[in-house]
Amino acid sequence: MIQNKYKVVVIGAGFGGLWVAKALAHSDYEAIFIDKNNYHTFLPLLYQVSAAEVSPEQIASPVRSILRSKKNIQFIRGEVSQINYSKKVIVCLGQEIPFDYLIVSAGSVNHYFEIPGAGKFAFPLKTLDDAMVLRNHILTCFERASFINDEEQRKRLLTIVIAGGGPTGVEFAGALAELIAGPLKKDFPELKNEKIALHLIEASNNLIGMYHASLGQYTQKQLEKKGVHVHCNAKVNAIDASGVHLHDGSVLPAETVVWTAGVKGRLVSNDLTIQTVPDGRIVVDEFCRISGYTDVFVIGDLACFIQDGKPLPMIAPVAMQQGKYVGRLLKRLLKGKKVKPFRYSDRGGMVAIGRNKAVSQIAGMHIKGYVAWIIWIFIHILYLIGFKNKIFVMINWVWSYIFFEKSVRLILPGCCDDPHGDLCLHRGRSCKG
Amino acid sequence: MIQNKYKVVVIGAGFGGLWVAKALAHSDYEAIFIDKNNYHTFLPLLYQVSAAEVSPEQIASPVRSILRSKKNIQFIRGEVSQINYSKKVIVCLGQEIPFDYLIVSAGSVNHYFEIPGAGKFAFPLKTLDDAMVLRNHILTCFERASFINDEEQRKRLLTIVIAGGGPTGVEFAGALAELIAGPLKKDFPELKNEKIALHLIEASNNLIGMYHASLGQYTQKQLEKKGVHVHCNAKVNAIDASGVHLHDGSVLPAETVVWTAGVKGRLVSNDLTIQTVPDGRIVVDEFCRISGYTDVFVIGDLACFIQDGKPLPMIAPVAMQQGKYVGRLLKRLLKGKKVKPFRYSDRGGMVAIGRNKAVSQIAGMHIKGYVAWIIWIFIHILYLIGFKNKIFVMINWVWSYIFFEKSVRLILPGCCDDPHGDLCLHRGRSCKG
């Protein structure tokens, strides 16, 4: 390697990071990518892992094989413990790594809004590990319910509450309703006379609030048709081992509470007092830089980029566009060219509700039902990383479409659940070993 | 359900149990199958999970969906804590379950022959959980080696020892050699000048001892061509955190030691002094029954069935044939028909060494190389349970054949490894929270 190349360090191999990598590939920069996982996760399909529709491997791609052809890019699997702006180094796995330019694309973590018990008792759905734990947990609840004699306990085991009616909550509720109504009903003939309850709780008066109200209402109607109990204008007061306490004083006893109600920026500790907004995001300027710094960029969920007076949403397309933008910006800098400010181009969004049903909002149009569903499938397969993953996910979807099956109904790995205990795994309850 | 049907309890949903289920389906028995996992594992391909060739989901099938069409069969996920022969009940999850006939098909666990440290420091390869932990561990060792400065430590991280040159040890060594020589070499350009060592240790003077010596020699030659260091006549004295101590006093410093040297019967505790052989198996009579009992059968790895003066081997075909036999026997009993003693029909065996190379011994013939490899593929796809699993595994194999890739190189789930610690996960070493 040529010693005098500029060094770029990129923290995070999510959508933001990977789009930087694409732009910087074969450039005159020497780049180091750092992620705590050795794989990139295709987060838009994460809920399908929890709903036993696809397997975790099918929405993950090894970062090293994505970066393999880009000879100027190196990968380190590890967590960044410190950013030192004045010295221009980051600390990873105890070693200092110098940078000329730093791009922070560390993503987001769950935001529990200080609701008591939410962080401890609700299941998160933010990482591939989370998704597997949740799948295992739900299947374990059914196994236990099929064998237990206590009526009340069985009812609690068969109640699932999803807190948060945004896209993730809606998509998961739809997929879970289909898992329960189809494969699980057939798998558990012992439970055919039992009531299995799936609740979706939303604090505002409409599901998927960032979409047009008519799409939210359509979504609610479709979910209700699938048997989901949708509670709008319902606020969670507290979550404990027994279930969910709502602000109107009512209690939903449930063994499974899933948190999809909010995310916040995933801060990396640093030596600087940087300006953050209440959801933990770092305020950036029109070039995606931390104000006052010419060499530190923040992109994706962690960045708070104000456009037309409003912060951009924390979604994948923003991260991709920002990643591509910053990568190109660095290349232009090297050539001494001028750079234009970043501008997000909103190409719309879409939410799957289930079989043949989705909503999408593209170029001002509000599309519902089958057409939206076909668009959803097409876009998700298109952006899913890895050709073989695309094939596997497609086969799984066709399979479950034809046979009404979700075939990844495996409690695997088993290390995090306890078939013997009275209480169930993880989330502040019991866990063996 | 008709109350006066005879009740059959089957412990274990491995090959033995599933073949009983096939035979008992739609019969006049009411059967309960019990397994600690909610899935059946296709153990012959387990090593491919550890070698990142196939994903765990692809060799597992949910037991409930296998049994779904068999209306007289029920499933309980749980462990059997006690067998009470006099009362004719088993205890599972704290409840007593009565039986008229009991079929124990609990399989086997690793046998460490009381070698100090083997149970603690060597990685087992007996369950799907084991296979995932091992895959994660090996990939983590490479990640750590790529970042570490200490020369000796790096060498240790890049040394893998497989203890046991039977079929599992050989198949894993071959697959791992290909993983290292192909994808990992490409993934880790930082390590291109490092020595990566893979040792296979066998106590006897030939690999795959149950096969003809010429096949064992061929296997050794092929593995050595792939760069595997094969040590025959080498006995393991002890295993500790530093590596493997051999009986000649030499030490192989290695971060990864895999145990494939032996298995023993997986006993379920019971109220009876039953006759077992030193490898923990239960001696059964010519009808696969525990001597002196007309209603308790033991099949598969747990059974010691003497045929022509020798115990049958602990392999899948024996379990399948015994399962089918006992299922049919019970049906004949119900009709008052006579039953013939069990006789195992040896249809041969086969071991894959890697790309285009396998050995097989069928009907007295010794087949080597490409033809044996094609037979191996055909038989494994044929017996793999689940049509979609067959398709997925085939795609993976074709893919890795064409592109020299092993695509499941994911450290997932991440809960059992520690990228920060100096020592690595599991097996008596460090493991985070």
Residue range B379-422, pLDDT digits in tens: 999 999 999 999 999 999 999 999 998 889 999 988 544 433 33
Is the distance from CB of A258 to CB of A162 less than 8 angstroms?
Answer: yes
Instruction: Flag whether pLDDT at A424 surpasses 60.
Output: no
pLDDT of residue A415: 54
Residues on chain B touching A57 (C-beta within 8 angstroms)? 55-57, 408, 410, 412
Tell me what pLDDT residue B407 has: 82
Chain A interface disruption, residue of B30, B130, B409, most A CBs within 10 A? B409
Q: What is the pLDDT of residue A4?
A: 73
Residue of B67, B395, B412, B424 to mutate when probing chain A, most A C-beta within 10 A? B412
A372-384 pLDDT per residue, tens: 999 999 999 999 9
CB count, 10 Å around CB of A403?
A: 13
C-beta of residue A36 within 8 angstroms of C-beta of residue A129: no
Contacts of B391 in chain A (CB under 8 A): 395
- A40: which 2 tokens? 């990139």
Peptide bond into B413 cis (omega under 30): yes
Q: By the 8 A CB rule, do B411 and B382 touch?
A: no
The residues, any chain, with a CB within 8 Å of residue A332's CB and separated by 6 or more, are A338, A339
Cβ atoms A424, B98 nearer than 8 A = no
For residue B184, is pLDDT > 90? Answer: yes
pLDDT confidence bin for A274, thresholds 50/70/90: confident
Could A395 and B391 be called an inter-chain contact, meaning their C-beta atoms sit closer than 8 Å? yes
Residue of B nearest to A394 (CA): B392
Question: Which residues in chain B are contacts of A416 at CB distance < 8 A?
Answer: 415
Rounded to whole angstroms, the Cα distance separating A385 from A189 reads 38
Average pLDDT, chain A: 92
Q: What is the DSSP letter of A183?
A: I
Is A6's pLDDT higher than 80? yes
pLDDT for B222 beyond 60: yes
pLDDT at A421 over 60: no
Q: Rounded CA gap, B196 and B175, in Å? A: 15
So what's the pLDDT on residue B3?
55
Question: Per-residue pLDDT tens for A127-142?
Answer: 999 999 999 999 999 9
Looking at residue B417, what is its pLDDT? 46
Look at residue A420 in the predicted model and tell me its pLDDT.
Answer: 33
pLDDT score, position A427 = 39
- How many helices (H) and strands (E) chain A has is answered by 12, 26
Three-class SS of chain B: CCCCCEEEEEECCCHHHHHHHHHHCCCCEEEEEEECCCEEECHHHHHHHHCCCCCHHHHEEEHHHHHCCCCCEEEEECCEEEEECCCCEEEECCEEEECCEEEECCCEEECCCCCCCHHHHCEECCCHHHHHHHHHHHHHHHHHHCCCCCHHHHHHHCEEEEECCCHHHHHHHHHHHHHHHHHHHHHCHHHCCCCCEEEEECCCCCCCCCCCHHHHHHHHHHHHHCCCEEECCCCEEEEECCEEEECCCCEEECCEEEECCCEEECCCCECCCCCECCCCCEEECCCCEECCCCCEEECHHHEEEEECCEECCCCHHHHHHHHHHHHHHHHHHHCCCCCCCCCCCCCCEEEEEECCEEEEEECCEEEECHHHHHHHHHHHHHHCCCHHHHHHHHHHHHHHHHHCCCCCCCCCCHHHCCCCCCCCCCCCCCCCC
CA distance B64 to B40: 10
**Average pLDDT score over residue span B181-201:** 95
pLDDT attached to residue B415: 54
pLDDT of B177 above 60? yes
- What CATH number was assigned to the domain covering residues B118-261+349-416? 3.50.50.100
- For range A337-342, the mean pLDDT: 96
Residue A63: the pLDDT is 97
The CATH 3.50.50.100 portion of chain B extends over 118-261+349-416
Question: Whole-model pTM?
Answer: 0.94
Cβ contact B39–A410 (<8 Å)? yes
Answer whether A190 sits within 8 Å of B77, measured CB to CB: no
Positions of CATH 3.50.50.60 in chain B: 6-36+78-110+263-334
- Residues of B labelled as active-site residues: 171
Is B367 a residue whose pLDDT tops 50? yes
Contact A358, A376 (CB under 8 A): yes
Determine how β-strand B108-110 pairs with β-strand B263-265: antiparallel
| Strand pairing report for A296-298 and A349-354 | unpaired
Percent of chain A residues topping a pLDDT of 70: 95
How far is the C-alpha of A25 from the C-alpha of A348, rounded, in Å?
A: 28
The answer for B113, left when phi > 0, alpha when psi is -120 to 50, beta otherwise, is: left
pLDDT of residue A267: 86
pLDDT at B432: 33
Contact B412 A39 (CB under 8 A): yes
Does the pLDDT value for residue A422 go beyond 70? no
Output the CA torsion A105→A109→A111→A115 (10° steps). Answer: -160
Residue type, B144: R
The reported pLDDT for the residue numbered A391 is 95
What is the domain class of B6-36+78-110+263-334 according to CATH? alpha beta
Min CA distance, A391 vs chain B (Å)?
9
Supply the pLDDT for residue A418.
Answer: 40
Q: How do residues B287-303 score in pLDDT, each as one tens digit? A: 999 988 999 999 999 99
User: Is pLDDT above 70 for B423?
Assistant: no
How far is the C-alpha of A302 from the C-alpha of A280, rounded, in Å? 8
Q: What is the pLDDT of residues A173-226, one digit of tens each?
A: 999 999 999 999 999 999 999 999 999 999 999 999 999 999 999 999 999 999
Q: How confident is the model at residue A269 (pLDDT cuts 50, 70, 90)?
A: confident
Angle at CA of residue B328, ends A143 and B279, nearest 5°? 70
Give the single-character DSSP code of A189. Answer: G
Q: What is the pLDDT of residue A3?
A: 55
Quick check: A430 pLDDT over 50? no
pLDDT tens-digit map of B59-95: 999 999 999 999 999 999 999 999 999 899 999 999 9
**One-letter identity of residue A178:** E
Helix (H) or strand (E) holding A385: none
Strands of the sheet containing B236-240, edge to edge, are B236-240, B243-246, B251-253
A171 counts as catalytic: yes
At B1, is the pLDDT very low, low, confident or very high (cuts 50, 70, 90)?
very low
Q: Which residues contact B332 (CB under 8 A, 6 or more apart)?
A: B338, B339
Q: What is the pLDDT of residues A293-307, one digit of tens each?
A: 999 999 999 999 999
pLDDT at A1: 45
Q: Is the Cβ pair A420, B64 closer than 8 Å?
A: no
What is the average pLDDT across A338-353? Answer: 96
- Whole-number mean pLDDT of chain B? 92
